[in-house]
Structure 1
Amino acid sequence: MARRRSRGGDAAIWPGFVDGLSSLILVLMVVLSLFVVAQFYLGEELTQKDTELNSLRAQIAKLAEDLGLARADKTRLELRIATLEDELAEGEARIAQLTEELAVAGSAIAASAEELEAEKALTEEQASEIATLNAQLAALRKQLASLQEALEAAEAKDLEQQAQIENLSTRLNAALARKVQELAEVRSRFFEALREALGDRDDIRVVGDRFVFESDVLFGSCSASLSAQGRIELKKLADVLLEIRGQIPSEIAWILRVDGHADQEPLGPACRLLYDSNWHLSAERAISVVQYLESQGVPPKRLVAAGFGEHQPLVPGRDPASLAINRRIEFKLTER
């Protein structure tokens, strides 16, 4: 009987325990739900608060900037006020000075009659001086006007002279061009006649505006004395030059320039006994040609001799053919 009651009591307790536990769990779930909801609303409120806080921070920064500007304006205003105070002090000092000067002027006005007469005489003297200065100024203005007229006349004359100079320059350029053209025509006739007189020879050629003789045609080795064949060839050149001399206009101061050139080889021992360098050899050969042309009737004032040594070769190279070409006498008909 006792066991049955015990079992029956346990069976009666268990449902109540389960109900209590269920109720507790239900309460906990309700509490947790309320906590979650509260957390949600609290998060929303915190987000809103953060937004408001950022806005307040921005406002504070703006207010701080405005405060800085206000302080700067305050500093400028304080400086301005100080400046104005200084100016006010200067103005007051100036007023005091003017008051003192006014008092002095009042004293001067109250001076004696003699002083007034003296001041009147001084005023009349100043008026006379001013009148004299005005007269001088009028005279100076008159002189200035005269000088201006003279300047304008000089400028007009200068323009006229400038036009005349330009006209003369144009005419001079035209005359020079005609002379150059005439000399070019004479040179062309000279070259043509000389080419016909000399015939077709490989050792005599035209290079630009120059007639070129190889030195071997006119001179022996290491010699500045004309060979017999050289005299024959130069006689042809002199005859052509004398023939066309009358065709050259008298106003053209023409000359025949004779240029001596040596090859690039240094002088040998035997040649150095006669000439110090290729400069001397080339110059002596040019002088020999000029002297021979003079002996043939060419006026000496129309002849010029120059030596260039080995420094202006016609062709590069040191082979015998190149050396023979560079060892030469050049003739150039030009204007002095």
Structure 2
Amino acid sequence: MAISRGRQRDRGADYWPGFVDAMASLLLVIIFLLSVFMLAQFFLSQEISGRDTVLNRLNSQISELTELLALERGNSRDLEETLSVLQANLSGAESERDRLQGLLDTQAGAASSAGGRVAELENTLDSEKRISARALSQVEILNQQISALRRQIGALEAALEASEFRDKESQTKIADLGRRLNVALAARVQELSRYRSDFFGRLRQILSQRSDIRVVGDRFVFQSEVLFSSGSDEINAAGRSEIDKLGEAILELSDQIPEEINWVLRVDGHTDERPVSSASRFRTNWELSAARAISVVRALIDKGVDPKRLVAAGFGEFQPLDDGDTPEAYARNRRIELKLTER
């Protein structure tokens, strides 16, 4: 009889190792699930932090929005897959809980201890469900942010297209204005050339037919000896008569040229390459050439020519007509040139 009771006690004690193993396995599963969930939470927080950085750099990285959107889609899919795995694990844990609950129901002697563990497992499962719900909420927020980014990209693309269209219109208008301006300028140049020809023709008529007054290119040239004594910037009596004739021609021309043509008569003074005399009040040929040009301009103003239509310039010896060093070459280079041009 004692042997029978001992065998009964032994058979009753055999349940505990299996129960302990099952509980240990369950705890390992729960710990594993918690570890997986913590890792998921860590990666999720890192991902959300990365998203905030991407959003802050949006204004300066518009050219990378397409790649960022693709990356966001991939990350969203990864999160959804992670949530699916967590949900599958939760389903497994719930199944294991149900199985353990069945085992606990068969073990009346360990009801109170098992009930406490079941309650703990249920709390753990509830906590994991709440975490999963938060993860789903974060995924939804990320999806909303992606939608907002898509709308912003659409708006930026529309603005860019509108800007490109306006730019093309502006380019077309600028090209058209340029063509019109070139045509207008060409017409003005031709018109001024016509008046220049008329002006030179008139000068040939009214000025004395002297060899030291001639036309060179688009300039009317006076040899300096016609107007000035050697080394002087004062117009002599003979030169004053020629300047008076020139003034009359300019006044006649002023009445003929339309107001919209902004013309001027440029008076250029030139000397030969020989230095000025030490007795002269001018230190350089440049000063002498400029003073002579100014004297001609003043004489024309005295004759009634509008000062706004006159320009005086001195070139010294640096624009010779003849590079020779003979007296004839020097005489050709000492000159006053008149050029009708636009301002």
Select 2:337's aligned residue among 312, 326, 330.
Answer: 330
- The answer to whether 1:304 aligns with 2:311 is yes
**In structure 2, how many angstroms separate the alpha carbons of the residues matched to 1:104 and 1:169?**
83
What is the CA distance between 1:105 and its match in structure 2?
A: 5.8
2:320 corresponds to 1:313 = yes
Q: Look up the match of 2:179.
A: 170
Partner of 1:180: 189
Q: Cα distance, 1:133 vs. partner? A: 1.7
Tell me how far apart the structure 1 counterparts of residues 199 and 29 of structure 2 sit (CA, whole Å): 105
SS of the equivalent of 1:259 reads strand
Q: Is 2:288 the counterpart of 1:270?
A: no
Q: What are structure 2's unaligned runs of at least 5 residues?
A: 1-26, 34-92, 94-119
Structure 1 residue 137 corresponds to structure 2 residue 146: yes
Kindly state the Cα deviation for residue 195 of structure 1 after the two structures are TM-superposed: 1.2
Secondary structure at 1:269 match in 2 = coil
For 1:283 and 1:123, the matched residues in 2 are separated by 94
Deviation, structure 1 residue 266: 1.6
Partner in structure 2 of residue 32 of structure 1: none
Match of 1:116 in 2: 125
User: Distance in 2 between the 1:104 and 1:204 partners?
Assistant: 118
Q: What TM-score results when the alignment is normalised by the length of structure 1?
A: 0.65
The aligned runs of 1:63-82 (5 Å cut-off) are: none
Alignment partner of 1:149 out of 137, 149, 158? 158
Separation in 2, partners of 1:268, 1:308 = 18
**Offset at residue 104 of structure 1 (A):** 6.5
Of the three residues 203, 207, 229, the one matched with 1:220 is 229
* SS in structure 2 at match of 1:331: strand
Q: Give the TM-score of the pair, scaled to structure 2.
A: 0.64
Q: Distance in 1 between matches of 2:330 and 2:161?
A: 70
Q: Secondary structure at the match of 2:305?
A: coil
Query: Quick one: structure 1 residues 228 and 142, their matched pair in 2 at CA, closer, same or farther if it must change by over 3 Å?
Result: same
Distance in 2 between the 1:146 and 1:312 partners? 63
Number of aligned residue pairs:
232
- Relative distance call for 1:275 and 1:105 in structure 2 (3 A) is farther
Amino acid at match of 1:151: L
What is the match of residue 244 of structure 1? 253
Q: SS in structure 2 opposite 1:267?
A: coil
1:234-262 Cα distance to aligned partner (Å, 9 max, x none): 11111111101122222222111111111
Q: Deviations over 1:25-44 (max 9, x none)?
A: xxxxxxxxxxxxxxxxxxxx
Distance 2:29 2:268 in 1: 100
Return the alpha-carbon distance in structure 2 between the equivalents of residues 160 and 264 of structure 1: 57
Q: Partner of 2:339: helix, strand, or coil?
A: strand
SS at match of 2:279: helix
What is the Cα deviation at residue 297 of structure 1? 0.9
The partner residue of 2:299 within 289, 292, 317 is: 292
* Aligned equivalent of 1:16: none
Q: Deviations over 1:288-320 (max 9, x none)?
A: 000000111111111111111112211122222
1:213 partner SS: strand
Aligned to 2:14: none
- Paired with 2:159 and 2:231, the residues of 1 have a C-alpha distance of 74
Q: 1:201 aligns with which of 179, 189, 210?
A: 210
| Cross-structure match for 1:253 | 262
Identity %: 53
Offset at 1:106?
6.6
The alignment status of 1:233 with 2:242, answered yes or no, reads yes
String of CA shifts for 1:94-143, please: whole Å, max 9, x gaps: xxxxxxxxx97674247933222212111100101111221222122123
Which is further off, 144-153 or 231-240? 144-153
Unaligned runs of 5+ in 1: 1-102
Distance 2:251 2:316 in 1: 29
- Aligned amino acid, residue 186 of structure 1: Y
